[in-house]
Structure 1
Amino acid sequence: MTRQSPLRKLHQQAEASFRLHPPDAPEGDGEGVEVVDSYGDAEAEYASLHAGCILMDRPDRGVIRVAGADRHDFLNRMLTQELKGFAPFQVRRSFWLNRKGRIEADLRLIALENAILFDLDTVCVDRTLRSLDGYIITEDVQLADESDHSHRLSVHGPASLALLQSVGEHVAGAPLSDLVDGAAALVRIAGCDVIVDRHDCSGSPGVELLMPAEHAAAVYQQLLEQGGAVNGNHNGVRPAGWSAFDVARLEASRPQCLFDFGHDDLPHETGVLKDRVSFTKGCFLGQEIVARMQSLGRPKKTMVRLRFEGVSPSELPHRGDRITPASSPDDDPIGSITTAAPSPQHGGAVLCFAQLRTDHATPGAAVLLRRGELRREGVVLDQPG
């Protein structure tokens, strides 16, 4: 059954439109997660992200709790990130790989006093639990799926931290006035204890909020009500969906798991290698493959941003559209589009994430978009990360 948000009725009342997550989830077969696409004006939602802040519902995120006395040592031997010195109310990003060095899950780790929380795509929860549990032998480590009992919201924009300070009572962790990227805190909002952490992934300050699912509606409404009072009607908080957020993350050059890379990919192919993988720590699962790729200096394919000028709405690139070299349009494809959207910061030009063969991924290289009879020339803008 398609997973739905506990806030769905509130979104329907606000005349939201929905779409399935992840992008490749087949329609009509009950797979995937229903997420908000927009509330009818994606351009206004995008503008609020840069003028005030936006509030996003995140039913696409799952939670795994890792407890037990050996949790730090065990995870440090399994995951790609260094976890020595990982203290309560710190946040680190990591991959969980399989033996072949391919991505099982893209994780955000939040350290608490008595546990480590995994924030990951809900589609990846079951496979992560099964695969990670298989390596627990004698260690004092317990894994628990808390996705059905937890819920996540996101706030993005220059007013996001001010909103959080106005609505939340600090309980523990980093001060809200100095919540830097990679830091977390416990705050009380609408009578509910909420774990918040800084996560800048849209080109503006961002804050993630994790709470018990039964309190999600109260927290959501409190943020909306207080947001207008704090920031004023012009640049207060506004509910927003993925159409606006996709534009912002494209402009900020932030590829996302299951959108732009996935389970068939190696860390070097993602564009987010640097803050997920430590090359100075001890062994981890899949390390031999990752180290070999690092020593070779270049993977077979890599993540890039492409730019297309003068694209009409009917010509907007689609996920899966093929890319060839502009100089050899009849050659075999060198890659494909993963995410695309017109960019206000680039004068309306269309930005795309794409995975291209590395020998064609040089910034400035001319490429050709192919879809049926459509041909559109563009350029490699840069490589994320």
Structure 2
Amino acid sequence: RIEVCGPDAAIFLHSQTTNDVQALDSGQGHASASLVPKAHLVATYSLHRLEDRYVLLGDSCRRQALGEHLEKYHVSEDLQIADHTEESAFLLVQGPRSGSLLQRLWPEEELPSQEHAIRPFGPGGEDALIVRRSETGESGFLLVGTPEGIQEIQGRIREAGPDFDHVEISAEVFEILRLEAGVPRWGEDMDETQILPETGLEQQAVSYQKGCYLGQEVVARVKTYGAV
């Protein structure tokens, strides 16, 4: 969980990521990536806009590399980059009844309706968030909050689970569902030796209409000519 805030945050992220940051309204998000100039991957993630900041959510194993990459190209822009991964906890709630379950437990909370949409989520603790996110091929949500807040949410879901056919799955089962859904994972399906078009993510994570960003020339060349 890396957050970027400040007057120049949108312009900076627009130049450092593959998707169209400036097209996002508050509460919206999209798949994106950061690349080196030759288009090799630094990290893939979802990027979300809130009223006062942008939130990048990706594989925790790449947070240091991504943070260092952003800081490297942060020169004079008026912004702050902060890594909040250590003080955050994450919970995936997936399946066709996930929204009904969360709405039953927290009727006062408005759930995001579009993929990658984001909203504050009070039950998760200070600065907690809920993101519409599918990791298994079915609709679902990613909850981001304090460890205490997420633990409390998980406890309430367990209590209500029987009414919604709730099942907690192992990492092995999740891996099977992820693979069946075609959701790539860092270290398993892609790494820094690959260029973005080799991952298949360019359909969701690239805007071909936006201005320049690191690696754009190579990505555009592959789209136009089918080769580097």
Q: TM-score, normalised by structure 1?
A: 0.56
The 5 Å alignment of 1:34-113 reads 63-113=1-51
Q: Is the 8 A contact 1:203 1:252 kept in 2?
A: yes
Letter in 2 for 1:242: A
Distance of 1:190 and 1:72 partners within structure 2:
26
- SS state at 2:128 partner: strand
Q: Is the 8 A contact 1:100 1:289 kept in 2?
A: yes
- The equivalent of 2:180 in structure 1 is 251
Question: Shift of the alpha carbon at 1:285?
Answer: 0.6
Question: Shift of the alpha carbon at 1:244?
Answer: 1.1
Tell me whether 1:161 sits opposite 2:90 in the alignment: no
Tell me whether 1:184 sits opposite 2:184 in the alignment: no
1:269 to 170, 186, 198: 198
CA 188–226 in structure 1, closer or farther in 2 if over 3 Å, else same: farther
Letter in 2 for 1:90: Q
**Bigger mean CA offset, 209-218 vs 94-103:** 209-218
Question: Shift of the alpha carbon at 1:226?
Answer: 2.2
Q: TM-score, normalised by structure 2?
A: 0.92
Greater helix share, structure number: 2
- The equivalent of 1:215 in structure 2 is 149
Letter in 2 for 1:186: P
Question: Shift of the alpha carbon at 1:255?
Answer: 2.0
Instruction: Give the number of the structure with larger relative contact order, counting CA–CA contacts within 8 Å between residues 6 or more apart.
Output: 2
- SS state at 1:189 partner: helix
Q: Percent identity?
A: 29
- The equivalent of 2:159 in structure 1 is 225
Tell me whether 1:295 sits opposite 2:224 in the alignment: yes
Tell me whether 1:195 sits opposite 2:133 in the alignment: no
Question: Shift of the alpha carbon at 1:105?
Answer: 0.5
1:134 to 72, 81, 84: 72
Structure 1, residues 257-297: CA drift from partner, whole Å, max 9, x if none?
22201111111110221101111110001111111222222
Distance of 2:25 and 2:150 partners within structure 1:
27
CA 140–170 in structure 1, closer or farther in 2 if over 3 Å, else same: farther
Structure 1, residues 131-184: CA drift from partner, whole Å, max 9, x if none?
11111121111111101111111011111111111122445xxx42x6221222
Greater strand share, structure number: 1
Distance of 2:159 and 2:46 partners within structure 1:
29
Distance of 1:150 and 1:79 partners within structure 2:
23
Gap runs ≥5 in structure 2? none
Letter in 2 for 1:217: Q
Distance of 1:241 and 1:72 partners within structure 2:
38
Gap runs ≥5 in structure 1? 1-62, 300-385
Letter in 1 for 2:219: V
Distance of 1:170 and 1:149 partners within structure 2:
26
Distance of 1:291 and 1:65 partners within structure 2:
28
Question: Shift of the alpha carbon at 1:191?
Answer: 6.7
- The equivalent of 1:50 in structure 2 is none
Structure 1, residues 175-216: CA drift from partner, whole Å, max 9, x if none?
42x622122222333776631111123121121000012322
Distance of 1:194 and 1:138 partners within structure 2:
30
Distance of 1:289 and 1:193 partners within structure 2:
38
Q: Is the 8 A contact 1:202 1:249 kept in 2?
A: yes
Distance of 2:7 and 2:37 partners within structure 1:
25
- The equivalent of 2:81 in structure 1 is 143
CA 286–200 in structure 1, closer or farther in 2 if over 3 Å, else same: same
